[in-house]
């Protein structure tokens, strides 16, 4: 019989399977990112209750297998953040954090610190007055933990120490370029205050990091090789407003 294991977990995404089941992608403290089958989860809500709702931390009882898909036997809600569902901005920000965690983390890589960062990101987003700032700081933390953060201490081409005039962000080289260096890869100019905002963002310093939003979004999109689905939701929200 497959081994049973309990772990705190977040639901990253769910896919319909057959008429009654779902295949769930979870981020767990004990197993990292993993997939499992939740039988009858679409027909009956009694078995898993509110645990499989968005932005809920729950205790998962997983029946794992050495190969193939495991099973979610039970799910006990532990903590939720109802204010994340209060407005569309917070909903979009919460889904962005879940989607980014799913994209950055590899299946089976146990990374408890990343689990804690995801929980802290949802918690900060739930109570923050400034949604964009909270999301950006969590994104930066995710990138740092996943080893994807841009280099901001020096020019990635000539190694000149930052800060310097006319900084640019090299998307292909993964860091800052000084104004004197040329590159054949993808890069973008940084607007007024963006370089300093990036430094504050990845250095965990106080102060607004909103000027870094466009640069960080472009950087994440380039590194992942795709746009996050949550960005489409955000664009539709801005258009509606």
Residue-range domain boundaries for the chain: 3-80, 83-150+183-240
Residues whose CB falls within 8 Å of the CB of residue 84, separated by 6 or more in sequence, listed in order: 54, 55, 90, 91, 93, 94, 122, 125, 126
* Architecture per CATH, 83-150+183-240: Up-down Bundle (1.20)
Cα–Cα nearest to 97, from 119, 128, 127? 119
Q: Check: CB of residue 118 under 8 Å from CB of residue 94.
A: no
- If 0-12 CB within 10 Å is exposed, 13-18 middle and 19+ buried, where does residue 170 land? buried
Tens-of-pLDDT digits for all 241 residues of the chain? 567 899 999 999 999 999 999 999 999 999 999 999 999 998 877 788 889 988 999 999 999 887 778 999 999 999 999 999 988 999 999 999 999 999 999 988 899 999 999 999 999 999 999 999 999 999 999 999 999 999 999 999 999 999 888 899 999 999 999 989 988 889 999 988 999 999 999 999 999 999 999 999 999 999 999 999 888 877 776 666 5
Write down the CATH superfamily of domain 3-80. Answer: Nucleic acid-binding proteins (2.40.50.140)
Which tokens hold the place of 181?
């260096």
Residues whose CB falls within 8 Å of the CB of residue 156, separated by 6 or more in sequence, listed in order: 170, 173, 174, 175, 176, 177
């Amino acid at each position: 019989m497959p081994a049973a294991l309990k772990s705190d977990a977040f639901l990253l995404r769910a896919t319909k399977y057959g008429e009654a089941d779902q295949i769930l992608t979870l981020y767990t403290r004990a197993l990292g990112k993993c997939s499992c089958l939740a039988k009858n989860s679409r027909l009956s809500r009694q078995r898993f209750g509110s645990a499989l709702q968005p932005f809920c931390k729950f205790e998962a009882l997983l029946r794992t297998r050495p190969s193939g898909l495991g099973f979610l036997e039970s799910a006990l809600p532990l903590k939720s953040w109802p204010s994340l569902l209060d407005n569309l901005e917070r909903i979009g920000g919460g889904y962005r954090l879940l989607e980014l965690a799913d994209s950055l983390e590899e299946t089976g890589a146990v990374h408890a610190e990343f689990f804690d960062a995801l929980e802290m990101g949802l918690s900060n987003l739930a109570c923050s007055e400034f949604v964009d700032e909270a999301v950006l700081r969590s994104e930066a933390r995710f990138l740092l933990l996943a080893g994807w953060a841009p280099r901001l201490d020096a020019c990635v081409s000539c190694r000149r120490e930052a800060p310097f005039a006319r900084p640019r962000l090299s998307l292909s080289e993964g860091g800052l370029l000084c104004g004197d260096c040329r590159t054949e890869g993808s890069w973008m100019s940084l607007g007024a205050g963006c370089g300093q905002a990036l430094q504050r963002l990845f250095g965990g310093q106080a102060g607004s990091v909103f000027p870094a939003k466009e640069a960080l979004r472009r950087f994440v999109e380039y590194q992942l090789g795709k746009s996050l689905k949550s960005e489409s939701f955000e664009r539709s929200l801005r258009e509606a407003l």
